[in-house]
Amino acid sequence: MYTQIKVEPGQTECFWQDLTNEKHVAFEVDYQVTDGGDLDINFYIITPRAIRVVQEFRKSDGQHRVDVKQEGRGDYALCFDNSFSYQTAKNVFFEMFLLDEKGDYLNNYDLFSSSNVKAQELNMHINSFERITTKVKANLNRVEHLQSQLRAQENKDRSIMESNFERVNNWSIIHLCVMLFVVGLQVYTVRSLFEENSKVGRFIRKGKLND
């Protein structure tokens, strides 16, 4: 499971995952703040026993693994807390992968196929075929995991580049305005030196406005 969410300032967004299936022995969670403010957010994982097994403050990204057999089965909550921000929303990319005893990634298709499709029903020897397809599926899930991480990193880099581009443009405009003002002031001062009736010219030449 992976998704992109927006956490409004002063708000907390939580997502729940049912982990009662015996095939789930652990899960991994990756998240990245891709846009908003200083690219930071609070993150915590709550177990079915209401214990915060993971808790982080003002982080831009993180990766965590939780042992379901150790922490207990039930509904786990993944929470992204932006309550410390008063005006900036945060865009967060996160993904969650369920793992079996071998450490392979699982999804709903894996659970369906393992529980409903029996070799004896097909009346053929497919043990080796199941092992191969399971391994291929695990590898594909891992590839999907890596691609999702790369997409999140790309979004984060793009956000930083756009922010820097806007900052450079703003400062360039300010510097240009200052330069034009200084040039105009210098031209006016030089012209005043050559004008007899200019009070500024008389002041610069003699140090006083009146002769």
Domains detected in the chain: 2-162 (2.60.120.680)
> Which two tokens mark 89?
């929303």
Sheet containing strand 52-59, edge to edge, reads: 12-19, 74-81, 41-46, 52-59
Question: For the chain, what is the radius of gyration of the CA atoms?
Answer: 31
For residue 185, pLDDT over 70 is answered with yes
- The amino acid occupying position 84 is F
Q: Provide the percentage of residues in the chain whose pLDDT is more than 90.
A: 35
CB atoms within 10 A of CB 62: 15
Mean residue pLDDT of the chain comes to 80
> Which two tokens mark 20?
């009662």
Contacts of 186 (CB under 8 A, 6+ apart): none
pTM beyond 0.75, yes or no: no
Quick one: average pLDDT of 206-211? 54
pLDDT in tens, 164-181: 888 888 888 998 999 999
pLDDT in tens, 137-163: 777 777 777 777 777 777 777 778 888
Cα–Cα distance list, 3 to 54, 138, 175 (Å): 20, 20, 42
Q: Which of 150, 135, 70 is nearest to 105 (CA)?
A: 135
Q: Provide the percentage of residues in the chain whose pLDDT is more than 70.
A: 79
DSSP H/E element including 182: helix 127-193
| Secondary structure class of 37 (helix, strand, coil) | coil
d(CA 76, CA 23): 16
Give residue 164's pLDDT: 83
Quick one: average pLDDT of 27-55? 92
Least confident of 13-17, 44-48, 79-83, 190-194: 190-194
